[in-house]
Amino acid sequence: MVDIFGTIGPACEDEQVLLSMFREGMTGIRINLSHVMLEDCRESIERVKNAAAECGVSPKILIDMQGPELRIGAMSEPVMLTEGESFFLGDGGIFVDSAIIGYLEKDIEVLLDDGRILARVVAVNGATACLKVLRGGILRGKKSIAIKDRTTEMPALTANDLKNLALAKEYGITGVMQPFVRTAEDLKYVRKALDENGGKDIRIYAKIENMSGVKNLVSFFAYADEIVIARGDLGNAMPLWELPAIQKRISKTCNEHGMPFMVVTQMLTTMEHSKVPTRAEVSDIYNAVLDGASSVMVTGETAMGDYPSEVIRYLQKTAQTAYGELYGAT
């Protein structure tokens, strides 16, 4: 069958909600460590385990590392970025690592929060960049930042990532999602860190989120246990209308090599505030499984949405229907 993953967050922290999600067919859950440390998640993990045990499920618990992903810093409150207006990154503005400013120059476009917000660099002055908003929205702290047409050389694992990997075995983590995998060396580094901390049996999920990952995909197969087609940032690496073809190409390559793969990002995004998904969303899930996906995952839909249990129900039912079509099972 297909693994059904939700993401832990304020909307599903309650054990009764988690129980309902497992009853609806959830088999595992993701913990996003871009915002918290693993040691802060002990109680959440225990609730996940308790709810799963009541349903007779041995849950897959994945931690999603920070890795080389670029993010803005913490913010005391959200900021509304309005189309046509300007704002600052760096000193005197929205905090970002100084290394990010070093990649910016006039007329480069910058995507914020998985591409929801688009801006163009107007000027760079030392440790500060001025940008003009081309597509506006509300920006919150710790959201992603992507620089168009720039390859950034950030370490595969941050200091916090290494601390989290050291605790993974103790906390019962079954898999590590490594973001923005660029070369096989990134995965070797993760494997080494896990092995040195008793995590030899912890699986590695390699997230494909840039064109380097697409290009080097086959070289990952010796070091990854599953490939993740992470369409959020991957969609920022190309014109959006090219993304479906890239997804199909990755799926085909994984199938040819017997490599399991997961599809994630905006699978049921309208269900953050709606009890019913769109026809396009259920078709997306169905086709992902028909293409051979071994796992499907939702993120904000269960972490922040209004209907986490209903989300899992639609995800599982749709995946089950496609699986039955593919393998003649029910």
The reply to whether 126 and 178 lie within a common domain is no
pLDDT of residue 187 exceeding 90, the answer is: yes
Among the candidates 90, 121, 147, a domain finishes at: 147
pLDDT of residue 244 exceeding 60, the answer is: yes
In a domain, 74, yes or no: no
Least Cα distance to 177 among 231, 252, 227, 248 occurs for: 227
The reply to whether 119 and 8 lie within a common domain is no
Exposed/middle/buried for 141, CB within 10 Å: 0-12, 13-18, 19+? middle
pLDDT of residue 232 exceeding 70, the answer is: yes
pLDDT of residue 32 exceeding 90, the answer is: yes
pLDDT of residue 152 exceeding 90, the answer is: no
**pLDDT band with cut points at 50, 70 and 90 for residue 69:** confident
The reply to whether 94 and 8 lie within a common domain is no
- 248 vs 80: CA distance, rounded Å: 36
The reply to whether 106 and 143 lie within a common domain is yes
Q: Across residues 205-229, what is the average pLDDT?
A: 97
**pLDDT band with cut points at 50, 70 and 90 for residue 329:** low
The reply to whether 240 and 280 lie within a common domain is yes
Please report the pLDDT score of residue 91 as a whole number.
92
CATH number of the domain bearing residue 276: 3.20.20.60
Q: What is the pLDDT of residues 111-129, one digit of tens each?
A: 999 888 999 999 999 999 9
The reply to whether 237 and 161 lie within a common domain is yes
Residue 255 tokens, joined: 């199938």
Please report the pLDDT score of residue 65 as a whole number.
96
- 302 vs 300: CA distance, rounded Å: 5
- 233 vs 226: CA distance, rounded Å: 18
Q: Across residues 174-194, what is the average pLDDT?
A: 97
Q: What is the pLDDT of residues 299-310, one digit of tens each?
A: 999 999 999 999
The reply to whether 56 and 86 lie within a common domain is no
Pairing of strands 117-125, 79-81: unpaired
Mean pLDDT, all residues of the chain: 95
Distances in whole angstroms, Cα of residue 57 to Cα of each of 21, 26, 27: 11, 9, 7
Residues in Cβ contact with 53 at an 8 Å cutoff, skipping those fewer than 6 apart: none
In Å, the largest CA–CA distance within the chain is 62
- At residue 184, φ and ψ (nearest 5 deg) are -60, -25
Please report the pLDDT score of residue 330 as a whole number.
52
Residue 168 tokens, joined: 């993974």
The reply to whether 93 and 38 lie within a common domain is no
The reply to whether 164 and 282 lie within a common domain is yes
The reply to whether 106 and 60 lie within a common domain is no
CATH number of the domain bearing residue 104: 2.40.33.10
Q: How many domains does the chain have?
A: 2
- 48 vs 260: CA distance, rounded Å: 24
Contact 155, 181 (CB under 8 A): no
pLDDT of residue 42 exceeding 80, the answer is: yes
Least Cα distance to 310 among 280, 270, 283, 279 occurs for: 270
The reply to whether 125 and 174 lie within a common domain is no
Q: Across residues 58-84, what is the average pLDDT?
A: 92
**pLDDT band with cut points at 50, 70 and 90 for residue 155:** confident
Least Cα distance to 228 among 151, 316, 294 occurs for: 294
Please report the pLDDT score of residue 322 as a whole number.
97
Q: What is the pLDDT of residues 260-290, one digit of tens each?
A: 999 999 999 999 999 999 999 999 999 999 9
Length of the chain in terms of residues written? 330
pLDDT of residue 87 exceeding 60, the answer is: yes
pLDDT of residue 63 exceeding 90, the answer is: yes
Residue 310 tokens, joined: 């209903």
Give the global pTM.
Answer: 0.88
279: left (phi over 0), alpha (psi -120 to 50) or beta: alpha
Please report the pLDDT score of residue 304 as a whole number.
96
Q: In terms of residue numbers, what domain contains 29?
A: 3-69+154-327
